[in-house]
A and B are shown apart, each in its own frame.
Chain A
Amino acid sequence: MSFFSGLTLGSYSVPILDIILGKLEPLQKTVLFQIRAPRVVLAGFVGASLALSGASLQGLFRNPLADPGLIGVSAGAALGATSIIVLSNHFVPEFLAGPFLLPIAAFAGAMLVIMLLFTLTKGFKSKGTTYMLLIGIAINSLSGVCIGFLTYISSDAELRSLTFWTMGSFGGVSWPLLVPAIILISFFLIWAIPSSRNLDLLQLGEIEAQRLGVNLKKLRFNIILSSAAIVGISVSLSGMIGFVGLVVPHLARLIGGVNHSYLLISSAIAGSSLMIVADLIARTFVQPAEMPVGLITSAIGSPFFLYLIISSKKL
């Protein structure tokens, strides 16, 4: 549903009947296949990534407030992107610049954080999950400092694109950039799903789970790596989009229960359709301009988050 409305609606509308009947003008074709389709597909995959990694991290850390941002991966990606936006004019040679530079830098930032996590926890083996969480918080604030510094030294134009990137957008994405991202994201999404039964067992406690045959090291490795990868790729293409990873799993729990074999898949589906809708709102609300989609998800997400904290009996 949201996929089709995402395709047809927009500043330039393409009637759905015409798509089905194949009666498209050349301009309509261009808008549909080159601009709108990649955008909707990207929104769907990013939504699925953020929501699935939110659901699996909330399970792994046994914490309902866990979020892909928590382990520092989004912050790493943001730092990579910020560096490029602010510093590329001064340091990067002309021939390297191009549409690929920003996502690659963001992805490198995310990978750097994963590797840092990997080394500090000796391959996700040593210590408990609390240790990993604290490291994530430290990484978050460290990248915050660096981003703050870069913001401070940036020029007006750089600051503007920085702000826009921080709030997230699916605009300007093209197929050559999208296809490798989709393949990678799909791979890691599918990789995460077999862990769902072990995530259920983990809710009994780490030692109890181990007594039931769960290999904790392997489970941590699978969840952290897949989450970090899908979030890193998503953030690198779309910027920072808040609250989807946090809120969507809770919605899915409210609808169909807490069992992870259901939760991971339903979160991914719900996240992807919600994101397509949010993007649709973002680009139709103030036509012909568009709002950053992160603004919309945060506008919906933060009140919900507040409600979650206030109504939670266990905090």
Chain B
Amino acid sequence: MSINIDSVSLNIKGVNIISDISFTMKPGELITILGPNGSGKSTLLRVISGDLLPTKGEVTIDNVPLSDMSFKTQALKRSVMSQSQQILYDYSVQEIVEMGWVDYSDTGGVELIKQKCIKAAKDCFVDHLLKRNFNTLSGGEQRRVHFARTLLQIDHQYDSIGNRYMFLDEPTANLDLLFELQLIRLLKAKAEKGIGVLLIIHDLNLASKFSDKIAILKKGKLSAFGEPLEVFKSKTLSDIFGLAMDVDLKTLKVTYY
């Protein structure tokens, strides 16, 4: 039972965006993907989310290949958060969060959805905004609302669906320091409850502190994968990011200026 990424490559118009990437994520693990801009992090996440079909290789979730999974099963198994688009019509925050509820005709009924929606909103500190018009919120508030929607998506009643996962592409963009930390802590708590969390962030120190494992991409290839202690070496990081970096071996704090 795990997410298995098996020698996945994606080639678009002759350019290898990602090549031959393999690793495994177990439920309950928090794995961070690091790497410079253009290293293929987001593309990898989109392949794992089923948005893009790999040219070679395969992604399986709990032993089922993604290509054999219906959109709905995928939606119940994992939620995805990425940079969102502008929303045209004036939905309320509550309506946006409730969009995370995949099977609207579910037996739980309207009351259950409402309860879970409020709980997710509370977890993301947006419960006071539920009645507001989504389009009038600030960028950071909108991110938190989308995050609440992502939480609600895997908080459903289908026990038969088994393990659940969350994939997040820079969820902390636009967030202030406090909310950034709160969000990562929340993800950590979810991981401890058995949810597999795969996450792209840029902050090396947050990554080393909270991740169970770290995957570092460079030019579309997986150049390091393992526990923070194995991966965070001054030489490895300096090579990958093209910047002199110093790692404190005790605290794993990274200094680069």
Q: Which A positions have Cβ atoms within 8 angstroms of B?
A: 62-64, 197, 200-201, 203-205, 207-208, 210-215, 253, 257-259, 314
Collect the chain B residues with CB atoms within 8 Å of residue A314's CB.
86, 88
Chain B residue at minimum C-beta to C-beta distance from A313: B135
B residues 73-111 near A (Cβ < 8 Å) are 74-76, 79-80, 82, 84-92, 95-96, 99-100, 102-104
Closest CB in chain B relative to A275 CB, distance in Å:
24
A204 and B84 contact, Cβ closer than 8 Å, known pairs A212-B100, A258-B91, A259-B91 = yes
Chain A residue at minimum C-beta to C-beta distance from B85: A205
Do A213 and B76 have beta carbons less than 8 Å apart?
A: yes
A197 and B104 contact, Cβ closer than 8 Å, known pairs A204-B99, A213-B75 = yes
- In the assembled complex, the Cα of A197 lies from the Cα of B103 at a distance in Å of 10
Chain B residue at minimum C-beta to C-beta distance from A194: B105
Collect the chain A residues with CB atoms within 8 Å of residue B89's CB.
64, 203, 253, 258
A203 and B75 contact, Cβ closer than 8 Å, known pairs A197-B104, A212-B102 = no
- In the assembled complex, the Cα of A290 lies from the Cα of B49 at a distance in Å of 59
Sort A-B residue pairs by CB-CB distance and give the 8 closest, nearest first.
Answer: A213-B75, A258-B89, A213-B72, A205-B85, A211-B80, A213-B71, A213-B102, A212-B75
Do B99 and A200 have beta carbons less than 8 Å apart?
A: yes
Collect the chain A residues with CB atoms within 8 Å of residue B99's CB.
200-201, 204, 212
Q: How many A-B residue pairs have C-beta atoms within 8 angstroms? Tell me.
A: 61
A204 and B85 contact, Cβ closer than 8 Å, known pairs A211-B49, A211-B51, A212-B102 = yes
Chain B residue at minimum C-beta to C-beta distance from A210: B71
Collect the chain B residues with CB atoms within 8 Å of residue A203's CB.
87-89, 91
Q: Interface on chain A toward B: helix, strand, loop, or mixed SS? A: loop
Collect the chain A residues with CB atoms within 8 Å of residue B102's CB.
212-213
Collect the chain A residues with CB atoms within 8 Å of residue B92's CB.
257
B153 within 8 A of A: yes
Collect the chain B residues with CB atoms within 8 Å of residue A211's CB.
49-51, 74-75, 79-80
A205 and B84 contact, Cβ closer than 8 Å, known pairs A211-B51, A212-B75 = yes
Q: A212-B75, A212-B100, A314-B86 are in contact. List 7 more A-B contacts (CB 8 A).
A: A63-B88, A203-B87, A203-B89, A207-B51, A208-B82, A208-B85, A210-B50
Do B153 and A208 have beta carbons less than 8 Å apart?
A: no
Closest CB in chain A relative to B89 CB, distance in Å:
4
- In the assembled complex, the Cα of A253 lies from the Cα of B91 at a distance in Å of 10
Closest CB in chain A relative to B195 CB, distance in Å:
16
Closest CB in chain A relative to B159 CB, distance in Å:
18
Collect the chain A residues with CB atoms within 8 Å of residue B88's CB.
62-64, 203, 314
Closest CB in chain A relative to B74 CB, distance in Å:
7
- In the assembled complex, the Cα of A259 lies from the Cα of B75 at a distance in Å of 21
Chain B residue at minimum C-beta to C-beta distance from A208: B84
Closest CB in chain A relative to B150 CB, distance in Å:
10
Collect the chain B residues with CB atoms within 8 Å of residue A258's CB.
89-91
Closest CB in chain A relative to B36 CB, distance in Å:
24
Do A213 and B74 have beta carbons less than 8 Å apart?
A: yes
Do B95 and A210 have beta carbons less than 8 Å apart?
A: no
Chain B residue at minimum C-beta to C-beta distance from A213: B75
Collect the chain A residues with CB atoms within 8 Å of residue B50's CB.
210-211
Collect the chain B residues with CB atoms within 8 Å of residue A207's CB.
51
- In the assembled complex, the Cα of A158 lies from the Cα of B48 at a distance in Å of 62
- In the assembled complex, the Cα of A210 lies from the Cα of B96 at a distance in Å of 15
Collect the chain A residues with CB atoms within 8 Å of residue B103's CB.
213
Chain B residue at minimum C-beta to C-beta distance from A198: B104
- In the assembled complex, the Cα of A187 lies from the Cα of B113 at a distance in Å of 31
Chain B residue at minimum C-beta to C-beta distance from A216: B71
- In the assembled complex, the Cα of A201 lies from the Cα of B84 at a distance in Å of 13
Closest CB in chain B relative to A139 CB, distance in Å:
25
**CB pairs A–B below 8 angstroms (29 shown):** A63-B88, A64-B89, A197-B104, A200-B99, A203-B88, A203-B89, A204-B85, A204-B99, A205-B84, A207-B51, A210-B51, A211-B49, A211-B50, A211-B51, A211-B74, A211-B79, A212-B99, A212-B100, A213-B74, A213-B75, A213-B76, A213-B102, A214-B71, A215-B71, A253-B90, A257-B90, A257-B92, A258-B90, A258-B91
Closest CB in chain A relative to B71 CB, distance in Å:
5
- In the assembled complex, the Cα of A257 lies from the Cα of B134 at a distance in Å of 13
- In the assembled complex, the Cα of A64 lies from the Cα of B88 at a distance in Å of 8
- In the assembled complex, the Cα of A208 lies from the Cα of B76 at a distance in Å of 14
- In the assembled complex, the Cα of A201 lies from the Cα of B87 at a distance in Å of 11
Closest CB in chain B relative to A203 CB, distance in Å:
5
Collect the chain A residues with CB atoms within 8 Å of residue B74's CB.
211, 213
Chain B residue at minimum C-beta to C-beta distance from A63: B88
Collect the chain B residues with CB atoms within 8 Å of residue A213's CB.
70-72, 74-76, 102-103
Closest CB in chain B relative to A66 CB, distance in Å:
11
- In the assembled complex, the Cα of A213 lies from the Cα of B85 at a distance in Å of 18
Chain A residue at minimum C-beta to C-beta distance from B153: A212
Chain A residue at minimum C-beta to C-beta distance from B92: A257
Collect the chain A residues with CB atoms within 8 Å of residue B90's CB.
253, 257-258
Do B100 and A259 have beta carbons less than 8 Å apart?
A: no
- In the assembled complex, the Cα of A203 lies from the Cα of B104 at a distance in Å of 16
